[in-house]
Structure 1
Amino acid sequence: MKNHPEVFERTLNGYMKYSERLRIYQNWLYGTCRQIVFFQHRENYESLLELDSNFLYSTALGQFNIFKRRHKDGIDIDPILSIGHTNDSKISSLKRRDNMIAGCRLSGTVFTFDDENEYNEEFVRDSCDPLLDLDFVGDFFVTVSRSETVFHKLSSELGMQIFDFSKNLNIGFQSIAINPSCEKILGAKSDSLHIIEPVKTLVTNSFLHRSQIYNTKWLNNNTFVFTSYSNPLSLIDTRIDFKRQEFSCGNFTATSVDYDGNNGIIYGTLLGMMVLCDLRMPRTFERVFHLDTPAICRNIKSDERHLYVSTDNAIHLLNFDY
């Protein structure tokens, strides 16, 4: 595969004027935005999303795509790079950390994509036990299926990226998330949450919830939030025996969540709404945004300019900088 250096010319928007940042923030606060819809399709499937300052990364069943972001109009609809086909094994997870994108397929393969090693895909699990999710920090990778959790070490051999088997646990999860310090792993399945210490390879804590858990996200090394069917947002402090705080930001069912790294949380709902709330005020919310075409918000990614939402039939852009 040819190298595509222009894909990775990532320049952070560090020189934006203060007045511009303030204007965009006010647009967020008062719900002033323009909506654009991309890639509408009849077949129901979820597009997984990742985002950086210059590019939108997305999946379409078995296909991995990279789109150039535009300042006003969202993205160029022709992908810079497209790998795979929609009829390939479905991509079940897509994660970005630093300059690397990683994903897994139900067939049992894991792929990575970065500016040095390009695209690499390797079979790591028997396809009879489909891969449901992955996460990674540096060269430490975790993959999960319904029956087991496997730790991998990413190494290089003859210029190729290799996933070396490390350890495995005979417990499966629907989703997995590693905290920033790589000291704790959060696994979720059905109505329960589990904390794993990778060094000891032990499940150290567990928490039983009263309904289906949809999403989990670490806020820092000790605290995470999760969304569920019965309550939009709950915060758990793992230092205090799973001390829980509920956020009653509207009577919604949250299906997706994103975090601004400070105090802001935005989540998508079953009814096609995005709710922006402040972690310091658990009983209030700042703003509710409605999709022009109501649909379930399956995946959500945002930054100071744009909010991207995938539904079962399209990708929606809410542009706050126009």
Structure 2
Amino acid sequence: MFLLQLPEDVLYHIMSYLDYRALSRLSQVCKTIYHFANRDAVWKKIAKEFINTGITRQGKDLYPHIPLKDRVKVSQNWYHGICRKEVMLKWRINLLPWIQLDGDVLYLSQAADIGVYHLRPDRGRLQRSPMALFSGHQEDVCRFAVTDTHLVSGGSDGKILVHHRRNGFSVEYSGHNQEVNCLDCRGGLIVSGSRDRTARIWTLSSNFPRCTIPMNDRVWSVAISPTQRCELLCCLGSEFRRGAGVLDIVYESPFHLFTCGYDTFIRSWDLRLSPRKCVMEWEEPHDSALYCIQTDGNHMIASGSSYYGVVRTWDKRQTRCLEMFQLSTAVSSPVYCLRFNTSHLYATLATTLHSLDFRQGPRPRRSHPLPQTAVGI
């Protein structure tokens, strides 16, 4: 009772000496302390130290509506690999699925179609049937990109389709002579790469290529810089071992990008340096090709490997990976694509869509049903 009679500024000062574990335990003492200890002002100091992943990007708070206590908990779960794994969707045949996130909506390509699903993170699953379906390719969709108004897809049939997200109207571009392996769209520009050894630049307003760039080999990955400058800056290097193809490119800023590929490395490039060079490398420990990467714009990188659906998380300030998540043990499949938001990571394998929920730990194994109880966090 004496503790509750103290002025609030004194309580704030006392709680400033506690770490996040002690604060969590203190909040279970009674309802009054629970409500006081959950205030953002109490967690502000701890949040500055412990929030590393998915919450702040380049100094900007992206989720002001989420209490700081919950954000610290989720951040620590990310850092220590504490999550609940769920299989959200299955299909019977092997595919090369691609996904994109847009808020609480997930876009998923399956064969020649792209389905639009509403996410239900609280249940760890998608809605039963897609809200919308985009189709038009004669063969499988290889890549697609989502903008505010359009969905642009490239397929094994060599076609590029531009779908209007609201009315579903589609326009077919003349495309490539062979399959479109990669594609990106930003600010009205479309860049595509193909097995026919060319990269092409398009605009949303015209279905004829604005520019065709001959390449020396198949094009596996493309990305448009945030500055959208159409000029050859440099070659990022050619002194790599044979077969070191780049499978994914991610721009984090106009001057900073990440690559990964067959040679098992994630590389960070600084385009402000002259000559442009790799400033950091992270090597996949099991010598597996890396099919996809994503960054949070802060400290974390997530990568998908070529065997048994292995997803790894990395801290840019360290050289070794933080955690490894093996999504498949029975079937060896690459992680073809992964995306994450504040609390969830989604990854696609050949026959499944998986989610990792970092708001809570794994489901306990029970030999018999137990009564549900309320537990304070």
TM-score normalized with structure 2 length? 0.69
Aligned-pair distance for 1:116? 4.8
Compute the RMSD of aligned alpha carbons: 2.5
- Show CA shifts across 1:150-184 (max 9, x none): 221222xxxxxx4343222222622211111112x
Distance 1:252 1:119 in 2: 44
Q: What is the one-letter code of the residue matched to 1:317?
A: S
Q: What is the one-letter code of the residue matched to 2:221?
A: S
Q: 1:181 to 1:42 in 2, by over 3 A?
A: same
Pairing 1:205–2:235 present? yes
SS in structure 2 of the partner of residue 23 of structure 1:
helix
Aligned-pair distance for 1:291? 1.4
Q: What is the one-letter code of the residue matched to 1:248?
A: E
Q: Does the aligned pair in 2 maintain the 1:231–1:246 contact within 8 Å?
A: no
Q: Does the aligned pair in 2 maintain the 1:129–1:147 contact within 8 Å?
A: no
Number of paired residues? 286
Match of 2:259 in 1: 226
Q: 1:242 to 1:231 in 2, by over 3 A?
A: farther
Pairing 1:93–2:143 present? yes
Pairing 1:289–2:340 present? no
Aligned-pair distance for 1:115? 4.8
Distance 1:243 1:60 in 2: 37
Distance 1:97 1:84 in 2: 17
Q: What is the one-letter code of the residue matched to 1:77?
A: R
| Residues 162-173 of structure 1 mapped to structure 2, 5 A cutoff | 162-171=206-215, 173=219
Name whichever structure is richer in helix by fraction: 2
Stretches of structure 2 lacking an aligned partner (at least 5 in a row): 1-61, 361-377
Match of 1:280 in 2: 317
Match of 1:259 in 2: 295
Match of 1:306 in 2: 344
Aligned-pair distance for 1:83? 2.6
Moved more, 66-75 or 239-248: 239-248
Amino-acid identity (%):
20
177, 189, 207: which one aligns with 1:140: 189
- Show CA shifts across 1:240-270 (max 9, x none): 3232221236344222211112121011112
Q: Does the aligned pair in 1 maintain the 2:173–2:208 contact within 8 Å?
A: no
Distance 1:248 1:176 in 2: 22
Distance 2:107 2:145 in 1: 10
Distance 1:88 1:169 in 2: 25
Match of 2:282 in 1: 247
Q: What is the one-letter code of the residue matched to 1:19?
A: K
Distance 2:169 2:287 in 1: 39
Distance 1:90 1:287 in 2: 33
Q: Which has the larger radius of gyration?
A: 2
SS in structure 1 of the partner of residue 77 of structure 2:
helix
Match of 2:355 in 1: 317
Stretches of structure 1 lacking an aligned partner (at least 5 in a row): 1-11, 156-161, 184-197
Q: 1:23 to 1:292 in 2, by over 3 A?
A: farther
